[in-house]
């Protein structure tokens, strides 16, 4: 069985956000970076794409990119905070 996967999570550093396209929409996770810490401030998924897992895929990819850049994470966004609470595999990158 072949699954159609959304495009990869990308870091749009010009807009200070991670992005993920799926089904013609773009989900975003806004952030700021200072002193080796990335602070996620807001996650936004258009209403028509909610409850499809796109936000979780977006945050998982953003956290993997964060780890690869050796940054620590602060979650000011409630969605990112909840995701981190449910995914202890990212505990090592919490600030």
pLDDT in tens, the chain (95 residues): 333 444 689 999 999 999 999 878 899 999 999 999 999 999 999 888 787 889 999 999 999 999 999 999 999 999 999 999 999 999 999 99
The per-residue pLDDT for 3 is 39
- In the chain, domain spans: 10-93
Residue 95 tokens, joined = 């600030």
Pick from 17, 67, 14: nearest CA to 42: 17
The per-residue pLDDT for 33 is 97
Burial class from Cβ neighbours inside 10 Å (0-12, 13-18, 19+) for residue 8 reads: exposed
Fold of 10-93: Aminopeptidase (3.40.630)
User: pTM for the whole thing?
Assistant: 0.89
Instruction: Supply the Cα-derived Rg of the chain in whole angstroms.
Output: 13
- The SS3 of residue 64 is helix
Pick from 65, 68, 67: nearest CA to 57: 65
């Amino acid at each position: 069985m072949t699954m159609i996967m959304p495009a990869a999570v990308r870091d749009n550093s010009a807009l200070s956000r991670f992005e993920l396209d799926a089904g013609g929409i773009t989900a975003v996770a806004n952030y700021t970076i200072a002193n080796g810490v990335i602070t996620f401030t807001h996650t936004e998924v258009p209403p028509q794409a909610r409850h499809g897992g796109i936000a979780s895929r977006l945050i998982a990819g953003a956290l993997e990119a964060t780890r690869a850049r050796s940054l620590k994470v602060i979650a000011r966004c409630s969605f990112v905070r909840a995701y981190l609470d449910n995914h202890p595999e990212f505990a090592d990158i919490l600030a």
